[in-house]
Structure 1
């Protein structure tokens, strides 16, 4: 890893690995960092501190209800310390080096491993002996640090795919494309019909990272994608150039001025029937279209290379971690055990019906049709990825990936400059 952190990107959004992961030196000038932690529990054995980034109204209500039930069942108070998404992620490094809450919300994959490797998370390996049968081997892998120990409890997941409104498609006679060529042809037809083929909002910085993932997975397959994210492949090589060549074919389908539009605005284009498709997560678009869930559907990003087909699904996992030195360790472990249960996860989904429980034991009979399809979609995947900003070094996602992709969207004919910049930064980060 490089010794000097890269400068923060002004376009970072709620799911991007923010500058909080880059090290304390990158955070020194940010005001209010010390205020993020509540100092864990009261230390009386009766209270558990809970650090939360569930700041939007719907998820905040959902997690509060889950924790209320835990209190009723266990006789323990839960002191909730909620911060908005961006503040939480900006302050996370100092928060964990100070006096963090006993249990704190975070993400599977590289983000989890990053703090585990820094000694800033509690070991949950013993807990997994109790809760492990709730989860699949792939989920356990996503909860496992570089040292082979578990540090994470999965709570919910949601797939990324191509979302659309069936009622609009039925009116127009559109059918789901099975190949990339069919996707381009469909988008071209939508444009001639006066519909925005692909709703896009990139002002937040992170959304188009997901489109890169889809294109790379379909063009080059899971193994190459994982290797590229680990800094083991050449960003200037033919395989990456092929991804951007395919992407250039999609750009005529894009909503105008994507860099000036937030993803929520793009989702509203679908909601209003003005847009035909959007590459996004079920959680994001579902929360924007909670009143239209019965008229929201999706399909896997179509096949590009028959060798790989559509065998990989991107499905980020959100969950919880344990403080390195919790004030109430016994209570914290009881809370994490509860959060791993189907009951807790299903209770949360009552107010957030656009994600799916991580536990494989969760009863899906009460799921809406969108959730049922999400479960099947993820279960049938040969491979599951998290998301670019969760699957690679945070400094690369923060600077090289976002700036490179934004530069490409601004001037797609200057791919050579874009890829050279990304390759140079990858070399510095992964071998420096």
Structure 2
């Protein structure tokens, strides 16, 4: 997955209240219009053309989507007109885009993020499509694809786990062993620091502050469990709860082992320091592989599940964000869009995509895993073994709350971590703005 940014901009993304009211200021519309606009709208849209809004602007996903849409055209005779926009811009402009004249089919995310727009009437249900594709997906995938009303609004394509990545050769040369528990993890980080490595690669500068949520989520999940974490994300419990304080205490314990200057570095540069053997570990997603073109280097990359903190929760939850597609509320070519979505929900489409992008794992149960590299195989096993699967901090919660309140606060705190009480009080003071009882 392309990961320039995961968080909706507070400038261009209306808050939940704004969307509920259905209002959109002229300034916001003017700002977003040139960034993400439909490429095929209008009453006279070609019935033999389906428009597709894609956030896969980087070379790897762009070529992967091209392979998929070309195969669809060959099978169906329908052309696909792709509107490709970089991931960050797509994120920032999505609300305005969907309230305008969006493309027939567009890329988006499963879970809360999908439900958010489905609930606002900005996407059309896909139950008829699922009548065709449903047998190819697990119950977990089906659940992730449903709105709060029980209808389907999403067709999944791939997912990918977050874990702790490292280079096998570094561990072998230094005599390191992958840790399973928190004490082993912090002891390893301490040893890496003594050995002259940056123990944990980190970069959350500019638009990459989303990247710190992976560590926050895992710390909270491992210390407090899946149920508490999801309740926190959904605004159901207080951020000043002692359990959240415990999460920040653990993060503060880990913070001395973060790469220096992380607040001014991109996630790509942080990942590169791991590849260059300057950092020992990185809490990151499998999309790390998109930066690798040398297969020998790819073969030297491995990962372990984020360590256990509380035995009551173990390592039973895996963060595995799921990406896929939705149907706009008023598609210009509804029949053609349905045919495209049925194709996108096929094993054939997933095989084509994974053939061009080895940094993800197919969701379809009949997808061919025979050509998976070692990282993909291990990723699939990790996800399959999970008792619970979460999406990601900004996907499991209200996007406005995360982007304007939680994330800026956590990023600032991480630069100078203290006991976190002031931060948690500040976040809690804003919770009621986004969540109602």
Number of positions where the alignment pairs a residue of Structure 1 with one of Structure 2: 420
Instruction: Establish whether residue 109 from structure 1 lines up as the match of residue 111 from structure 2.
Output: yes
CA deviations 1:366-424 (Å, max 9, x no partner) are 11111000110000100000000000001111021111111211221251111111111
Moved more, 132-141 or 314-323: 132-141
Q: Distance in 2 between matches of 1:49 and 1:429?
A: 33
Q: Using the TM superposition, give the Cα deviation of residue 430 of structure 1 relative to its aligned residue in structure 2, in angstroms.
A: 1.4
Q: Distance in 2 between matches of 1:67 and 1:355?
A: 18
Instruction: Establish whether residue 14 from structure 1 lines up as the match of residue 19 from structure 2.
Output: no
Q: Distance in 2 between matches of 1:44 and 1:410?
A: 53
The root-mean-square deviation of aligned C-alpha atoms, in Å, is: 1.6
CA deviations 1:85-124 (Å, max 9, x no partner) are 1221222122212211111111111111111111111110
Q: Distance in 2 between matches of 1:107 and 1:195?
A: 35
Contact 1:37 1:100 in 2 (8 A): yes
Instruction: Establish whether residue 67 from structure 1 lines up as the match of residue 72 from structure 2.
Output: no
Q: Distance in 1 between matches of 2:379 and 2:418?
A: 36
Instruction: Establish whether residue 296 from structure 1 lines up as the match of residue 301 from structure 2.
Output: yes
Structure 2 gap segments, 5+ residues each: none
Matches within 5 A, 1:234-249: 234-249=238-253
Which of residues 380, 389, 393 in structure 1 aligns to 2:385?
A: 380
Q: Which residue of 2 aligns with 1:210?
A: 214
Q: Distance in 1 between matches of 2:265 and 2:392?
A: 21
Matches within 5 A, 1:309-348: 309-348=314-353
Which of residues 394, 400, 407 in structure 2 aligns to 1:402?
A: 407
Contact 2:111 2:395 in 1 (8 A): yes
Which of residues 421, 424, 436 in structure 2 aligns to 1:419?
A: 424
Q: Distance in 2 between matches of 1:373 and 1:266?
A: 23
The change in CA–CA distance for 1:397 and 1:13 in structure 2 (over 3 A counts) is farther
Q: Using the TM superposition, give the Cα deviation of residue 428 of structure 1 relative to its aligned residue in structure 2, in angstroms.
A: 2.6
Q: Distance in 1 between matches of 2:130 and 2:199?
A: 45
Moved more, 84-93 or 360-369: 84-93
Q: Using the TM superposition, give the Cα deviation of residue 58 of structure 1 relative to its aligned residue in structure 2, in angstroms.
A: 0.9
Q: Distance in 2 between matches of 1:29 and 1:402?
A: 26
Contact 1:151 1:321 in 2 (8 A): yes
Contact 2:29 2:96 in 1 (8 A): no
| Aligned-partner SS, 1:365 | coil
Q: Distance in 2 between matches of 1:250 and 1:235?
A: 21
Moved more, 403-412 or 141-150: 403-412
CA deviations 1:217-240 (Å, max 9, x no partner) are 000000001101011111111100
Moved more, 289-298 or 149-158: 289-298
| Aligned-partner SS, 1:310 | coil
CA deviations 1:255-298 (Å, max 9, x no partner) are 01211111000000101011100000001x11123422111111
Q: Using the TM superposition, give the Cα deviation of residue 35 of structure 1 relative to its aligned residue in structure 2, in angstroms.
A: 5.7
Contact 2:292 2:298 in 1 (8 A): yes
Contact 1:113 1:145 in 2 (8 A): yes
Matches within 5 A, 1:275-290: 275-283=279-287, 285-290=288-293
Q: Distance in 2 between matches of 1:225 and 1:289?
A: 33
The two structures have a TM-score, normalised by structure 2, of 0.93
| Aligned-partner SS, 1:27 | helix
CA deviations 1:67-86 (Å, max 9, x no partner) are 01110111111111111112
Matches within 5 A, 1:193-232: 193-203=195-205, 204-232=208-236
Q: Using the TM superposition, give the Cα deviation of residue 427 of structure 1 relative to its aligned residue in structure 2, in angstroms.
A: 2.7
Q: Which residue of 2 aligns with 1:265?
A: 269
| Aligned-partner SS, 1:96 | helix
The change in CA–CA distance for 1:358 and 1:35 in structure 2 (over 3 A counts) is closer
Contact 2:274 2:281 in 1 (8 A): yes
The two structures have a TM-score, normalised by structure 1, of 0.94
| Aligned-partner SS, 1:388 | coil
Moved more, 396-405 or 145-154: 396-405
Q: Distance in 2 between matches of 1:418 and 1:264?
A: 28
Contact 1:164 1:278 in 2 (8 A): yes
Instruction: Establish whether residue 354 from structure 1 lines up as the match of residue 359 from structure 2.
Output: yes
Q: Which residue of 2 aligns with 1:53?
A: 55
Q: Which residue of 2 aligns with 1:44?
A: 46
